[in-house]
Amino acid sequence: MLLDGAGLWLADTNTWVFAAHQGSAAVVVDAPPDAAGVAELLDRHDLAPVALLATHGHADHIGGAGAVSQRYALTAYLHPDDDWLALDPAAQLRLLWGMVPPGDFAAPQRWERLWHGQVLDLAGFAISVIHTPGHTPGHCCFHVAAEGVLFSGDQLFAGSIGRTDLPGGDFDALMRSMGERVLTLPPATAVLPGHGPATTLARELETNPFLETFRT
């Protein structure tokens, strides 16, 4: 598995791309409002993206989804519980921040729907969709079991968890989905989050202060 990522835009949001090898079809996970940054990541390995998976509808993760999906004629995927967030990324930022920073803000013409338990066959990988509400109602993680990789979005970070104080956030729901749907994966699973460095489930179970309640 060829895997690479970059922290893009003002929020230093991680975009991840993965493929079987250099020069092959690839999948993009999250698209901040920096289409040029996403393109550079793909060009670095001569990759041809076939799909864009959005972990959730916050503008720092889908603000560039329209530009990226149009540039590469991609199918873009999002859980429908986050449709209300994804309708207008610029308006979302105006509501939350009172202004719209520079960026490539555009929504795709349409989103394909994700649902919990769905398995996507993309670029030669079986990608399991894990609906993990809490950070947002439609937040999803993407598990590539054969590679031992979890794209955790803003569900789980190295040493922290996603914030739940924004509209649609629910701390109890996040902790419930964490215990029932994330921490049940193999401890050796590599966790590739929406912000910050990669980690593993084992490391987070051992050291993450927000997961203390799950330690035995």
* Structural domain boundaries in the chain: 2-214
Radius of gyration of the chain (CA): 16
Determine which helix (DSSP H) or strand (DSSP E) holds 102, and give its type and residue range.
Answer: none
Distance CA 147, CA 5 (A): 16
By C-alpha distance, which of 133, 136, 146, 152 is closest to 53? 152
Burial of 138 (0-12, 13-18, 19+ CB in 10 A): buried
* Burial call 160-186: b when 16+ CB within 10 Å, e when fewer: bbbebeeebbeeebbbebbeebbbebe
How high is the pLDDT of residue 107?
87
By C-alpha distance, which of 150, 72, 80 is closest to 110? 80
How high is the pLDDT of residue 98?
79
**What's the whole-model pTM score?**
0.96
- Report whether CATH 3.40.30.10 matches the domain 2-214: no
pLDDT mean values, one per 10 residues, the chain (216 residues): 92 96 97 95 97 97 95 97 92 81 86 98 98 98 98 98 96 98 98 98 98 91
